[in-house]
Amino acid sequence: MKAVQFSEHGDRDVIEYGEFSDPDPGRNEVVVDIKAGALNHLDIWTRRGLPGVELEMPHIPGSDAAGIVTDVGPDVDRFDVGDRVAVSAGVSCGRCEFCRDGDPTLCIRYGIIGEHQRGVHAEYATVPEANLVSVPDHVDWEIAGSASLVFQTAWRMLIDRGSLNAGESVLVLGASGGVGHAAVQIAAHAGAEVYATASTDEKLEYAKACGADHVINYERTDFASEISDRTGRRGVDMVVDHIGEATYPDSLKSLAKGGRIVTCGATTGPHPGAGLNRIFWNQLSVIGSTMATPGQADEVLELVWDGTFTPRIRETLPMSEAADAHALLENREGFGKVVVIPDSEY
DSSP H/E element including 261: strand 255-263
Distances from the Cα of 211 to the Cα of 183, 193, 236, angstroms: 10, 9, 17
pLDDT the model gives residue 66: 98
Q: Supply the range of the domain harboring residue 14.
A: 2-147+311-341
Buried b / exposed e over 229-258, threshold 16 CB at 10 Å, is eebeeebbbbbbbbbbeebbebbbbbbbee
C-alpha 11/C-alpha 227 separation (Å) is 37
Cα separation, 120 vs 124, in Å, equals 7
Look at residue 293 and tell me if it is in a domain: no
The per-residue pLDDT for 50 is: 86
Q: Is residue 297 part of a domain?
A: no
Indicate if 35 and 132 belong to the same structural domain. Answer: yes
What is the model's pLDDT at position 332? 83
Torsion of CA 315, 267, 111, 115, to 10 degrees: 50
- Flag whether 18 is in a domain: yes
pLDDT at 187: 98
Q: H-helix or E-strand containing 263?
A: strand 255-263
C-alpha 90/C-alpha 92 separation (Å) is 7
Are residues 155 and 143 both part of a single domain? no
239 in a structural domain: yes
Is residue 181 domain-shared with residue 164, that is, in the same domain?
Answer: yes
The reply to whether 303 falls in a domain is: no
Q: What is the CATH number of the domain that holds 193?
A: 3.40.50.720
Distance CA(164)–CA(207), nearest Å, equals 19
N residues, the chain = 346
Do 107 and 77 fall within a single domain? yes
In a domain, 158, yes or no: yes
Domain of residue 336, CATH code: 3.90.180.10
Beta-carbon contacts of 208 under 8 Å, excluding residues fewer than 6 positions away, are: 196, 215
| Three-state secondary-structure class, residue 223 | helix
What residues pair up with 317 in beta bridges, in sequence order? 340
Pair 167, 75 in one domain? no
| 122 and 189 share one domain | no
Residue 345, CA atoms < 13 Å, CB-side half-sphere: 24
- CA 336, 341, 345, 346 dihedral sign is positive
Question: Directed axis angle between helix 178-189 and helix 148-155, to 10°?
Answer: 50
Same domain assignment for residues 216 and 281: yes
> pLDDT of 205-243, one tens digit each?
999 999 999 999 998 999 999 999 999 999 999 999 988
| Count of structural domains within the chain | 2
Give the Cβ contact number of residue 165 at 10 Å: 11
Same structural domain, 315 and 265: no
In this structure, are residues 64 and 37 in contact, taking their beta carbons and an 8 Å threshold?
yes
Is 61 inside any structural domain? yes
Residues 120 and 243 in one domain: no
- Per-residue pLDDT of the chain in tens (346 residues, 90 and over written 9): 999 999 999 999 999 999 999 999 999 999 999 999 999 999 999 999 988 888 999 999 999 999 999 999 999 999 999 999 999 999 988 889 999 888 999 986 778 999 989 999 999 999 999 999 999 999 999 999 999 999 999 999 999 999 999 999 999 999 998 999 999 999 999 999 999 999 999 999 999 999 999 999 998 999 999 999 999 999 999 999 988 888 899 999 999 999 999 999 877 778 888 889 999 999 999 999 999 999 999 999 999 999 999 999 999 999 999 999 999 999 887 788 999 999 998 8
Kindly report the pTM of this predicted structure. Answer: 0.94
Angle at Cα 304 formed by Cα 157 and Cα 209, nearest 5°?
80
Considering the domain boundaries, does residue 203 fall inside one? yes
